Amino acid sequence: MRQLFQTIMVCFVLGKPVWAQDLGSDLPSNPKDVIPSVAAEPNAGSSTQDGDPIEPAESASLDKIIEHIAREVTEQIKSDLAALNALNALNKEAAIEAKDPSQIDLTIKAARQVLDETSPVYLGKAGRIVQTFGQSIPRLVCRVGQHCIMELEPGEIVADTPVFSDTARWDVSLRMRDTGQEQIYVSVKPQADAAETTLTLITDRRVYSVLLVPDLYAHTMIMSFKYPDSERRALEAQIEAQKAAISAQEEAENTTKARALEERGVQTAQGPVPAEELDFKYRVVSGKAAFKPVRIYTDGIKTYIELPGKYRGEYPVVVVSNPANRKSINLVYKFPLIIVDRKLGDFQLKTPARSLKIKKG
């Protein structure tokens, strides 16, 4: 027991615990003073053995040490638990924020993404730097003290005054060239102490937002744009023009066909019809008369009896040969045609003086 207690005391002495300062006058500041006989006694030949009882004063000091150690361990555990709970709370808050960001966070993130976006930049005609409009925020890099030019689309009209935040250190003006179609140029010049700023320009076709960047060496003579929306509109207009041309060509062909049909086709109630679409299988089997038809045909709905063009006599009437078909027949006289409102089989053409018998087939 004494050896165990001695080992505990040595550990606390080497670790320099604070309990030696907290126990006050009841406990010496040096733990070795509490157990002088333990530190001085040899292991062999000692008059006091491990089973010997501990003195009352020494026992009281040991109880205080154990009690203080227990308090320190308890306080340390409480402190560690509090720190762990605080860390867990922070982790939960971070997880909630990551799961449900605020509107401000989303706006800031979107704004950073816009600034970080890039689009193809390539060399155009006459030293132009060409960027694709609408794919990123264009950068116009200008050497300090020199003019840069931003070229707008031909025919594009500026609807309002250019807006930029640093009017003292940036000079911005508009220029126009008229070569049959007006074209506007934006002239930009940074002063010696100019910093980055944003230029906003509103036109009748789009809104430009350009980042102006001053530089001591780099310089953009002319910056122009490739416009996907204008290219799409031009393509749509080209397609519409092609459709209109095809439609006009079809209409002209139909007109030509109609005129040709009027000249060589056969007249029906629906207009001229090609002869191959009609049934001409009618023939006069008996009789003679001045009104003998030039031709008789049917379109399957009505029957057409074409009289000689020079006939000026009385119109003949139509008499159906089959008694079963002798219903009321409606006739339309439209010289030289007699139009019957049905498809006829065998029939007769009669006037008071003459009669013709016509057979189908």
Give the tens place of pLDDT for each residue, 286-333: 999 999 998 899 888 899 998 988 888 899 999 887 766 666 788 888
* pLDDT for position 254: 73
* pLDDT for position 326: 63
At a CB cut-off of 8 Å and minimum separation 6, what does 244 contact? none
Higher pLDDT residue, 58 or 195?
Answer: 195
* Token pair of 152 as six digits: 């707008």
3-state secondary structure of 224: strand
Q: Please give the order of strands across the beta sheet that includes 207-215.
A: 139-143, 207-215, 197-202, 163-164
Residue 52's pLDDT band (cuts 50, 70, 90): low
Higher pLDDT residue, 13 or 277?
Answer: 277
Residue 14's pLDDT band (cuts 50, 70, 90): very low
Measured from the Cβ of residue 225, the count of other Cβ atoms closer than 10 Å reads 21
Burial 159-191 (b: 16+ CB within 10 A, else e): eeebeeebeeebebeeeeeeeeeebbebebbbe
Residue type, 233: R
Q: Which of 85-99, 115-129, 239-253, 255-269 has the lowest mean pLDDT?
A: 255-269
How far apart are the C-alpha atoms of 293 and 358, rounded to whole Å?
10
* Token pair of 95 as six digits: 């997880």
Residue type, 318: V
* Closest to 144 measured CA to CA, from 184, 185, 196: 196
Residue type, 359: K
pLDDT at 23 over 60: no
* Token pair of 33 as six digits: 């003073």
The alpha carbon dihedral of 122, 128, 133, 139 has a sign of positive
Measured from the Cβ of residue 155, the count of other Cβ atoms closer than 10 Å reads 12
CB 285 within 8 A of CB 357: yes
* pLDDT for position 153: 93
Q: Which of 27-36, 136-145, 253-262, 323-332 has the lowest mean pLDDT?
A: 27-36
Residue 304: burial class (beta carbons within 10 Å; 0-12, 13-18, 19+) = buried
* pLDDT for position 200: 94
SS3 sequence of 23-34: CHHHCCCCHHHC
* pLDDT for position 41: 43
* Token pair of 236 as six digits: 């749509």
Average pLDDT over residues 214-226: 93
Tokens 């003949």 correspond to what residue?
316
pLDDT at 39 over 50: no
Higher pLDDT residue, 110 or 235?
Answer: 235
How far apart are the C-alpha atoms of 169 and 165, rounded to whole Å?
10
* Token pair of 100 as six digits: 């449900």
Residue type, 176: M
Strands (E), the chain: 121-123, 128-132, 139-143, 148-151, 163-164, 170-178, 182-190, 197-202, 207-215, 222-226, 266-268, 271-273, 282-286, 295-298, 303-306, 317-320, 331-334, 337-340, 347-350, 355-360
* Closest to 349 measured CA to CA, from 299, 310, 307: 307
Give yes or no for a cis peptide into 138 (omega within 30° of 0). Answer: no
User: Dihedral angle at the C-alpha atoms of 287, 293, 294, 300, nearest 10 degrees?
Assistant: -120
At a CB cut-off of 8 Å and minimum separation 6, what does 311 contact? 290, 291, 336
How far apart are the C-alpha atoms of 244 and 120, rounded to whole Å?
36
Average pLDDT over residues 64-91: 84
How far apart are the C-alpha atoms of 343 and 340, rounded to whole Å?
8
